[in-house]
Amino acid sequence: MGQPSAALATFAQAARPTTIIEAPRLARKLGINLLLASETFQHTGSFKFRATSHLASHVPNPLIIAASSGNFGQALAYACSLVGKRSIIVMPQTSALVKVDAVREYGGQVDFVDVRAKSRAARVAELAGEHPEAYVASAYDDPLVIEGNSSLGEELARIDCPFDRPPEVVVAPVGGGGLTSGIVTGLRRAGSSLEVVGAEPLLANDAAQSLRAGRIVANETEPQTIADGARTVSLGVHNWAILKDGLAGIVEVPEENIALAVRLLFELANLKAEPTGALSVGALLTDPDRFRGRLVCCVVSGGNVDPAVYRELLGAS
């Protein structure tokens, strides 16, 4: 469908404020006071638009290139469209058609790569050579990305809290560390000392290992967790610089608790979350004692999930 149609009204180019949701039935089930900060209604359906809208409006380049088979690609395509820039999103040939369609619908140009023959990074480098005017964007390891995501931290610092007290701890998913490093940056800038805890798939626990080791530890291969937004090989360098002292800890969430969190968000909070988005609630399921008696804000980072995958998750019980 190309560029957004001029016949339909356009939206503000800024990120949409996060949606705060009280979920008393979920809180009761978990025995933990909680609020949800949902980014599932953010433009393009995930927090990634915070980064890409900042990026697209701050780099002078007319073209932005990135590798992404998920939320970053859609968010970058849309953000570029809004400011009249072009985007090329490198995606594996095997990407789900709905994801390819979404990138195209948001105005992005899809470049397919056969990952058996060439890595995505190699294809991005090749494209960068062909397009010297382009900015090459990382989904997390870029100060502009962290700065964009920091707007969520600033919002959480001044949350309009329906309880009689502000939250005491924020739990957010960790993949490359773009979201959590942004949240920490925004909170601290706003003068908040709110604790930030990461939620990482146990199958992809490189960030937890990194915190323990005091240096970046990488997964050997891309981990096959259902939380596909956290299938990163390691934290980014810029993210690590913030997270090594900025995170109060990381909870390593087993796959079954990720799936259970998706179901509980559906059943008890009416919230459609993607597996990566449900990691924060999965952390409460995994280590409840850490959170008992405190008011917890769980960031649900995104909601984009295929209907077939979601149906399976709802069915498993």
Positions in the binding site for a second copy (CB under 8 A) = 1, 4-5, 7-9, 11-12, 16, 19, 21-22, 24-25, 27-28, 31, 33, 40-41, 43, 45, 98, 102, 105, 162-165, 263, 266-267, 269-272, 295, 303-304, 307, 310-311, 314-315
Nearest-approach distance from CB 283 to a second copy, in angstroms: 18
Nearest-approach distance from CB 165 to a second copy, in angstroms: 8
d(CA 199, CA 276): 9
CA dihedral over 291, 292, 297, 302, signed as positive or negative: positive
Task: Tell me whether residue 82 or residue 184 sits nearer to a second copy (CB atom).
Answer: 82
Task: Tell me whether residue 162 or residue 191 sits nearer to a second copy (CB atom).
Answer: 162
Nearest-approach distance from CB 96 to a second copy, in angstroms: 13
Nearest-approach distance from CB 43 to a second copy, in angstroms: 7
Task: Tell me whether residue 205 or residue 280 sits nearer to a second copy (CB atom).
Answer: 280
Residue position matching structure tokens 């990305």? 145
Task: Tell me whether residue 214 or residue 315 sits nearer to a second copy (CB atom).
Answer: 315
d(CA 72, CA 66): 9
Which pair of tokens denotes residue 245? 């002292």
d(CA 305, CA 302): 9
Nearest-approach distance from CB 200 to a second copy, in angstroms: 23
Nearest-approach distance from CB 63 to a second copy, in angstroms: 23
Task: Tell me whether residue 218 or residue 308 sits nearer to a second copy (CB atom).
Answer: 308
Nearest-approach distance from CB 267 to a second copy, in angstroms: 6
d(CA 184, CA 165): 20
Task: Tell me whether residue 250 or residue 313 sits nearer to a second copy (CB atom).
Answer: 313
d(CA 112, CA 94): 9
For residues 135-165, one letter each, b for 16 or more C-beta atoms within 10 angstroms of the residue's C-beta and e for the rest, the string is bbbbbbbbebbbbbbbbbbbbbbebeeeeee
Task: Tell me whether residue 219 or residue 310 sits nearer to a second copy (CB atom).
Answer: 310
Torsion angles phi and psi, residue 90, rounded to 5: -85, 120
In the sheet that holds 63-67, the strands lie side by side as 109-113, 86-92, 63-67, 134-136
Task: Tell me whether residue 87 or residue 210 sits nearer to a second copy (CB atom).
Answer: 87
Nearest-approach distance from CB 276 to a second copy, in angstroms: 13
In the sheet that holds 19-22, the strands lie side by side as 19-22, 34-38, 296-300, 169-173, 195-201, 249-253
Burial of 35 (0-12, 13-18, 19+ CB in 10 A): buried
